[in-house]
Structure 1
Amino acid sequence: MKSNILQDNINQLSLLAAAIILLLTIYVAGKYIKQMKTDRSTGELADENWDGIGEYKNELPSGWAYTFLGTMIWALWYWTMGYPVDAYSQIGEYNKEVKTYNKQFESKWANADAQTLRDMGEGVFLVQCAPCHGIAGDGMGGKAADLTVWGSKDAILDTIKHGSKGLGFPMGEMPAGLLSGEAAEKVAEYVAGGMKGEQPAEFATCAGCHGPDGKGMGGMAPDISQYGTPDFVKMVLDHGKKGFIGTMVSFKGRLSPIQEKAVGTYILSLSRGE
């Protein structure tokens, strides 16, 4: 199928703008080149000078001023009349196709079983996560989080020891070393166990930000009651995180909800040795 670039409203506007800019450039350049050959500097000198070099109090060049004004008018026209929201464009057509495909994708895999989610998550992980966390998810010798122990008591102890940065919650970042020794052990075991059973008194240190129930006090801090589940992975993906080798950007909008759930399922399988 042959395509005609002039059928696209955006292409027409772009070509028109290019032609206008080219004509203006030729006109302005020619005008000032001619003036450079014939005109002489005149007028009142400004009081300021730099190493004996001063400047005249001349008016703003009309060619530059009209070009600048024309650019502003063009921009206002382009965004209000030249390219209305409902106009056809190749970008708009592409975005519409992507939305349609994503909707079909979500519908197709809405009820995917655990194995399917794991396989899907592995594919996403190898492309998006493995460059930093390693193909095996082991963090490549401490350069990133070791996901093979994620969700375990050891992983929580590591977080307590080193702190947590970059999640962007209103309560701020978790500093390192809030607990140590037996106190850290008790809290890590409690959280890793799904916060079931008797809550250790030492958890009061965590409750100051995460709340007595660990649910983050309405979004003020991470919901650690979901630690060790795909939902917690989704939270990290949505917020991003700071690590040893840099900042993990937020994947919110980059991955669909099903893909986020799939990545969480796969990471959980890594920590379980599946």
Structure 2
Amino acid sequence: MAESALKSPDDSGETTGHEWDGIRELNNPLPRWWLYSLYATIIWAFGYWVAYPAWPLVSNYTTGLLGYSQRELVLEDVAKAREARAARGQAQIESASWEEIRKDPNLLNLALATGKAAFGDNCAGCHGTSATGRTGYPNLQDDEWLWGGTLPEIEKTIRFGARTTHPESHAGEMMAFGRDGILKREEIRSVANYVLSLSGKEFDAELDLGKGAATYAQNCAACHGDNAKGNREVGAPDLTDPIWLYGSSPEQVIATITNGRKGVMPAWEGRLDEATIRSLAVYVHSLGGGR
């Protein structure tokens, strides 16, 4: 049995001509059915490339000879989804007033659910999944709003954005007082110290607050107001509250005054449908900071 176990199962088969220490290398061709299957898949692949969107310059690089397009299928599915949503009340959200949405439990729940889903898909990347924001991106749960926190104001911000190319976008930006040579370094330190004192933050008592106040009156009051309460017409924040979008350390405040700020909120009109934009406004308003 030991000798038969060491023998080749086909000792008469064709060899490759190679032999090592008495061991011959046999040439066992693949079964014909396997080879035919391989050839068939190759032929099928070439046909697939021509018929479907893979091989360029046959019809075009997106559709192939059969005119197939996954994008078109997705758009069809989106259209069907919109139709289904409209049947469940989306059309009512588009046409109803804010007061009607707030008073109708069914409409309100639908708007909140739609807005929450849209927020997760489009807004959470900047504002966070819980809408608490981060440095440079506002917290949507507090009651401080750069451009206003009523339902119509939130809708306008979502629809047209801030500092975008849209003609109805919010406009206004923080000037670069240091970079543009408007204020000297000591003036920037002085006014930053004064601003920190307004919101109860720690400040350098050795610096003259009077000089900072004078610099503020000459350069900052036009936007932030004489009382530093801000101006929503130009998106100027309230400097007397403890909420700071870009940080409240002396270094961060000095950096803001020196280099300016002009964060951009994208315009969602044309990217989201009417019902989704209004639903987003309702959802954001409901987070706790809406006015």
Q: Same fold (TM over 0.5)?
A: no
Q: TM-score range by the shorter chain?
A: 0.3 to 0.5
Give the alignment's TM-score, normalised by structure 2.
0.37
Question: More helix per residue: 1 or 2?
Answer: 1
The structure showing larger relative contact order (alpha-carbon pairs under 8 Å, at least 6 residues apart) is 2
